[in-house]
Structure 1
Amino acid sequence: MTYQALYRVFRPQRFADLVGQEHVTKTLQSALLQNKISHAYLFSGPRGTGKTSAAKILAKAVNCENAPTMEPCNECPACIGITNGSIPDVLEIDAASNNGVDEIRDIRDKVKFAPTSVRYKVYIIDEVHMLSIGAFNALLKTLEEPPKHVIFILATTEPHKIPPTIISRCQRFDFRRIQPHSIVSRLRQVVDQQNIKASDEALFAIARAADGGMRDALSLLDQAISFSEEEVLLEDVLAMTGAVSPFTLAGLVQAIYEKNIAKVLQSLEEFMNQGKDPNRLIEDLIFYYRDLLLYKTAPHLEGIIKGMGMDHEFQQLAQSIPLPTIYETIEILNKSQLEMKWTNHPRIFLEVALVKLCHQEDRHTFSMSEEIQSLIKKVENLEAELSRLKEQGISVTAKEGSSVQAKKPAKSTRTSGYKVPVGRIHEILKQATHQDLSLIKGHWGEMLDILKKQNKVSHAALLQESEPVAASPNAFVLKFKYEIHCKMAADNTNHVKDNVESILFDLTNKRFEMVAVPDEEWGKIREEFIREKGTQREKEEDPLIAEAKRLFGEALIEIKE
Structure 2
Amino acid sequence: MPYQVLARKYRPTQFQEVVGQAHVVQALTNALNQGLLHHAYLFTGTRGVGKTTLARIFAKCLSCETGITAQPCDQCSHCREIDKGRFPDFFEIDAASRTKVEDTRELLDNVQYAPAKGRLKIYLIDEVHMLSGHSFNALLKTLEEPPAHVKFLLATTDHQKLPATVLSRCLQFHLQQTTPEQAASHLTTILQKENIAFDRTALQLIGKAANGSMRDGLSILDQSIAFGDGKVLEPDVKSLLGTIEASILIDILNALQKKNGTLLLANIAKLQQQGADFARALAELLSLLHNISVLQIVPDISLEDHDPALPSLAAAFSAEDIQLFYQIGIMGQRDFAFAPSPKIAFEMTLLRMLAFYPEKLALSATKPTIATTQSQKEKTWPDIVAKLSLTGAALVLAQNCTLENLTDTKAHLLIKSSQKALAQPNQIQRLQQALSDYLQRPMRIAIKFGDQEQQTPAELTQQQHEQRQQAAKRQFAQDPKIQQLMQAFDATLIEESITTDKNHLEQ
**Which residue in 2 is equivalent to 1:336?**
332
Change (3 A) 1:343 1:100: farther
Which residue number corresponds to residue 109 of structure 1?
Answer: 109
Partner of 2:88: 88
Q: Distance in 2 between matches of 1:202 and 1:114?
A: 52
Alpha-carbon displacement from aligned partner over 1:497-550 (angstroms, at most 9, x marks no partner): xxxxxx999648xx754589xxxxxxxxxxxxxxxxxxxxxxxxxxxxxxxxxx
TM-score, L = length of structure 2: 0.72
Partner amino acid, structure 2, of 1:196: I
Are 2:190 and 1:190 aligned? yes
- Give, in angstroms, the shift of residue 298 of structure 1: 2.4
| Deviation of the 1:314 alpha carbon | 3.0
Distance 1:271 1:132, change over 3 A: same
1:315: which partner in 2?
A: 311
Q: CA deviation at 1:451?
A: 3.7
The CA distance in 2 between the partners of 1:51 and 1:506, in whole Å, is 46
Deviation at 1:256, TM superposition (A): 2.3
Structure 2 distance, partners of 1:450, 1:287, is 33
User: Which of 345, 351, 354 is the equivalent residue of 2:347?
Assistant: 351
Give the Cα separation in 2 of the matches to 1:239 and 1:450: 52
2:184 and 2:204 in contact (8 A); partners too: yes
The share of aligned pairs that are identical, in percent, is 36
SS in 2 for 1:197: coil
* Alpha-carbon shift at residue 106 of structure 1 (Å): 1.4
Structure 1 residue 230 displacement after superposition: 5.7
Shift of 1:251: 2.2
What RMSD in Å do the two structures reach over aligned CA positions? 3.3
2:23 partner letter? H
Q: Is the 8 A contact 2:126 2:155 kept in 1?
A: yes
Name 1:58's counterpart in structure 2.
58
- Residue 350 of structure 1, CA deviation: 1.2
The CA deviation at 1:354 is: 0.9
Distance change in 2, residues 1:344/1:33 (3 Å): farther
Q: For residues 311-460 of structure 1, what are the structure 2 equivalents within 5 Å?
A: 311-343=307-339, 345-361=341-357, 363-365=358-360, 368=361, 372=362, 451=405, 453=407
Indicate conservation of the 8 Å contact 1:177/1:213, yes or no: yes
Deviation sequence 1:284-324 (CA, Å, 0-9, x none) = 1111111222233224442xx343xx243233223322211
Distance of 2:73 and 2:227 partners within structure 1: 37
Asked whether the equivalents of residues 94 and 126 of structure 1 are also in contact (C-alpha less than 8 Å), the reply is yes
Change in CA separation of 1:299 and 1:22 when aligned onto 2, cut-off 3 Å: farther
Q: Secondary structure at the match of 1:232?
A: coil
Aligned to 2:175: 175
In structure 2, what is the Cα distance between the partners aligned to 1:454 and 1:263?
Answer: 25
Q: Give the AA of the match of 1:317.
A: L
* Unaligned stretches of 5+ residues in structure 2: 366-400, 421-442, 455-507
1:474-513 equivalent positions in 2, closer than 5 A: 507=447, 513=451
How many residues get paired?
Answer: 400
Q: What amino acid sits opposite 1:351 in the alignment?
A: E
CA shift digits 1:323-362 (9 cap, x unpaired): 111111110000001232355533222111111222333x
The CA deviation at 1:169 is 0.9
Shift of the alpha carbon at 1:242?
Answer: 2.1
CA distance in 2, matches of 1:507, 1:192: 57
When residues 270 and 55 of structure 1 are mapped into structure 2, their CA distance, relative to the original with a 3 A threshold, is: same
Counterpart CA distance in 2 for 1:85 and 1:321 is: 59
1:181-220 matches, within 5 Å, as 181-220=181-220
User: Deviations for 1:352-404, whole angstroms, at most 9, x for unmatched residues?
Assistant: 1111222333x242xx4xxx49x79xxxxxxxxxxxxxxxxxxxxxxxxxxxx
Aligned residues of 1:40 and 1:143 also touching (Cα < 8 A): yes
Cα distance in structure 2, aligned partners of 1:315 and 1:347: 29
Contact 1:81 1:87 in 2 (8 A): yes
Paired position in structure 1 for 2:491? none
Distance 1:24 1:292 in 2: 36
Aligned equivalents of 2:133 and 2:229: distance in 1?
51
The 8 Å contact of residues 248 and 271 in structure 2, kept in 1 or not, is answered as no
Secondary structure in 2 matching 1:275: coil
Equivalent residues of 1:505, 1:512 under 8 A apart: no
Give the conservation status (yes or no) of the 8 Å contact 2:409–2:444: no
Q: Which amino acid aligns with 1:143?
A: L
Preserved contact between residue 95 and residue 128 of structure 2 (Cα < 8 Å): yes
C-alpha change, 1:340 and 1:210, in structure 2 (3 Å) is same
Q: Which amino acid aligns with 1:66?
A: T
Question: Are the equivalent residues in 2 in contact too, given 1:59–1:122 (CA < 8 A)?
Answer: yes
Note the alpha carbon deviations across 1:190-220, whole angstroms, 9 max, x for none: 2222222222222222122111111111111
Alignment partner of 1:128 is 2:128: yes
